[in-house]
A and B are shown apart, each in its own frame.
Chain A
Amino acid sequence: MSLATDQKPAAPATSTVGGAVAYQRLLAFASLVALLIGFSFASSNFMQTSNMMAILQSASVNGVLAVAATLVIITGGIDLSVGTLMTFCAVIAGVILTKMGLPLMVGVIGAIGAGALCGLCSGTFVTKMNIPPFIATLGMMLMLKGLSLIISGTRPIYFNDTPGFDQISRGSIIGDIIPALPVPNGVLILFLVAAAASFVLSRTVLGRYIFALGSNEEAVRLSGVNTDRWKMAIYALAGAICGIAGILIASRLNSAQPALGQGYELEAIAAVVIGGTSLAGGRGTILGTLIGALIMAVLTNGLRVMAVAQEWQTVVTGAIIILAVYADMIRQKK
């Protein structure tokens, strides 16, 4: 009997908020395709496999960071520390592998663990000390920047003595099997991280609370849910993902560059926003973020291929962010 009543009305009404995200994602996807087509007409070099792989490779680090940022942003928070945390984790990996000479796996796990721990710190500031996420992670961002420089002695740490480290990002397991598809491992890792985060968001308790916290934190708390604990878990998870990004960038550069990192958080947030995730919290998708990161990478690469000056690339990226959010605003008003 209940089945009969289920089916008839309100299919359109059900899909409105979900629809907003889907629409923005479609829009983002269409923009991505339009950019690809546009650039391939503008330059014959653009569509070459090697260039496509370069785009994907350059999207990988920002993409992973953006996935981390997405989780926090859907809760209605923000994480400004993802960039310097990534660097901090890379430096930790450098200390473990180069200075201490421990095995590769220890370095990787150490970096991810350090990321999770730092995320837990941010989460503690936000929950137990009641500091707004913007401030808590801003402070964290600066502390981590300084710590990276202190630990590394302000000099890059090279991984020349750790064979195989650079292969984490630059190698290609897929290419070894299918030579025609030399997808770098870094890209593979991005897609694996994205798939895992997407799964967490849609199918686990943590994911459900991520959306619920962003929709109405007080209602969740008054439902008897220990919101502080869940929030700390979310920041820790985001931190761990930053640790993965740290390994990726260190592997790609075959070094931990302690001065790097600041600025990455804004690029990550830009990718999240272009992908249709609301900064107000409560809605967003990993797929959207992935597309957002790709749009930014395609744009940078395409403009470079067309020999547009770097300064102008930055201007265009800024304009794209504003356009993307404006498109979302127009849709929401309707």
Chain B
Amino acid sequence: MTYLVEMDGIEKRFPGVHALKSVSFDLKPGEVHALMGENGAGKSTLIKIMAGIYRNDGGEMRVDGNPVAPASPREAQNLGIGVIHQELALMNDLTAAQNIFIGREPRNRLGLLDERKLNADAAAIFKMMNLDLDPRAQVGSLTIAKQQMVEIAKALSFRSRALIMDEPTAALNDAEVAELFEIIRGLKADGVGIIYISHKMDELKRISDRVTVMRDGEYVGTVDANATPINQIIAMMVGREVTEEPVVPPDLSAAEVALEVEGLSRAGEIFDVSFSVKKGEILGFAGLMGAGRTEVSRAVFGADPKDGGTIKVHGKLVNIKTPTDAVRAGIGYLSEDRKHFGLATPMNVRDNVVMATLSQYVTSLGILKDAEMRKVARGYIDQLGIRTPSEMQEVRLLSGGNQQKVVIAKWLLRDCDILIFDEPTRGIDIGAKSEIYKLLETLAAEGKTIIVISSELPEIMRLSHRIAVMCEGRLTGILPGGAGTTQEDIMRLATDRAPAMQPMGEHA
């Protein structure tokens, strides 16, 4: 069997980092080969060498058995290697066809753009992919899933035989994932080899044929996807077995209700959502992508306006219109997107920890008390186990897990006793995840009220004392936490569409 792409003993060094240590990888035509590893394991470096973005310092890369060394993405494309990046590189204001052939637009005899041929060529690729999409559709108006299809079409238009997909399902809902997998199966049948990078374990089983695991820049091993238990793959990734035991919800019958939301709504997004959380409780919010969980939490926090509904904190009605109001009421919100909504990453740990409390650290003359702020930040570094060389370290240089802890510290310092975590472990390594879980449990045990929004069912089941499930902007049910509730119970509520909405689904 000849290999499409082979990477043999690849070495890569960056200043101060040995990023790849003799890594090997190969891809056969017509297979999906998953590449797994924690953040920083070296997956993207390896991919970038294949794609011509980086040059390797040692080892050999072969395509169809011939040694190659692509010096640019263009050369890699010419070798038949295409990349679908996690962050899509599309021009939103252009049409699908214009995006696919950008820089290679067909011209007519007068040298003008041949829009008709452009659209016909794009339509031909869509047809090959078995994809129902108008080449003239403006890309910005398409769903993320469809945009991804456009990216795939673009890669195929280069006659790519090897496709690298970097976390293609990160922003897709379940139906869209199924659609993507259908396309991938079609490509496989046509002999295209696919390198598939994902953090979602369940997808491995569904789509991949072989799995290669990397850790700390080293090749750990390649196993058969179907024959290998997921626990073993995780163990290969983290270097040890990770076991999760179901949560045992504490008895909170005597506890005070800390937050009570009633009839929360916003036109088109949130429909009459009511729930309450007790002091010391962890309430999980489950649902598919786009079910309205983030919208609910942002409305409760005052980050987005609401059309109706009341919020009571510790039994008292509060009028929350802005985040400032929410914070005053003791509610803190930890966004899934820490870099954009949680942290000022170019600033240091100290400045981020005191961000919500800055006015408490000034002298009567209005001068900042830097020494005191440093002391407070150091206190939280010890208390939460934030791994940083000092409180003056810039936050962008910390790992995802430690960044999350900095945000937690910010809210703890602000005396927020109701904390809303939106995807608390997104972008965080498996090893660091359990540390965040333990931290959340400790916070709850200390009497904080915790709301956790998560798209990962295992995470919801691992943490939640009760599980609220949403579907299309409605709260479809609240389930007890612990071993009594199965993933199927949650999924049933998460797909419990309102009857009035169903005909709309049929329409397309």
Contacts and interface: CB of A to CB of B under 8 A. Distances in A.
A208 B340 CA distance: 18
Nearest to B359: A205
Given A2-B381, A203-B367, A223 B356 contact: yes
Contacts of B347: 211-212, 215
Interface of B: 301, 303, 322-324, 326-328, 333, 335, 339-348, 351, 355-356, 358-359, 362, 366-368, 370, 378, 381-382, 389-390, 392-394, 397, 410, 414
A225 B378 CA distance: 23
Nearest to B368: A203
Contacts of A215: 344-347
Contacts of A176: none
Contact of B366 (A13, A205, A218, A221): A205
Interface stretch (A4-12, A50-58, A120-128, A142-150): A4-12
Given A203-B367, A219-B340, A283-B346, A224 B389 contact: no
Contact of B362 (A13, A204, A221, A223): A204
Contacts of A223: 323, 327, 355-356, 410, 414
Given A211-B347, A219-B344, A17 B355 contact: no
A10 B393 CA distance: 8
Contacts, number: 103
A218 B340 contact: yes
B418 to A, nearest CB: 13
Contacts of B356: 223-225
5 smallest beta-carbon distances between A and B, as pairs: A224-B327, A10-B389, A215-B344, A223-B356, A216-B344
Contacts of B366: 204-205
B181 to A, nearest CB: 34
Given A203-B368, A221-B323, A283-B346, 15 more contacts: A2-B378, A10-B390, A11-B389, A17-B346, A207-B368, A209-B358, A211-B351, A212-B355, A215-B344, A215-B346, A219-B341, A220-B344, A223-B410, A224-B324, A224-B356
A8 B387 CA distance: 13
A177 interface: no
Interface of A: 2, 5-6, 8-11, 13-14, 16-17, 203-205, 207-209, 211-212, 215-216, 218-226, 282-283
A30 B206 CA distance: 61
Contact of A216 (B328, B343, B359, B381): B343
8 contacts: A203-B368, A204-B362, A208-B351, A216-B339, A216-B343, A218-B341, A224-B356, A225-B355
B394 A16 contact: yes
Nearest to B329: A224
Contacts of B394: 13-14, 16-17
A225 B324 contact: yes
A282 B347 CA distance: 9
A220 B410 CA distance: 11
A208 B358 contact: yes
Most buried by B among A2, A6, A204, A222: A222
A208 B389 contact: no
B345 A216 contact: yes
Nearest to A206: B366
A172 B328 CA distance: 52
Given A203-B367, A216-B344, A222-B323, A14 B390 contact: yes
Nearest to B387: A5
B345 A222 contact: no
B368 A9 contact: no
Contacts of B368: 203-205, 207-208
Nearest to B298: A222
A224 B303 contact: no
Contacts of B355: 212, 219-220, 223, 225
A222 B335 contact: yes
Contact of B382 (A2, A11, A13): A2
A283 B351 CA distance: 14
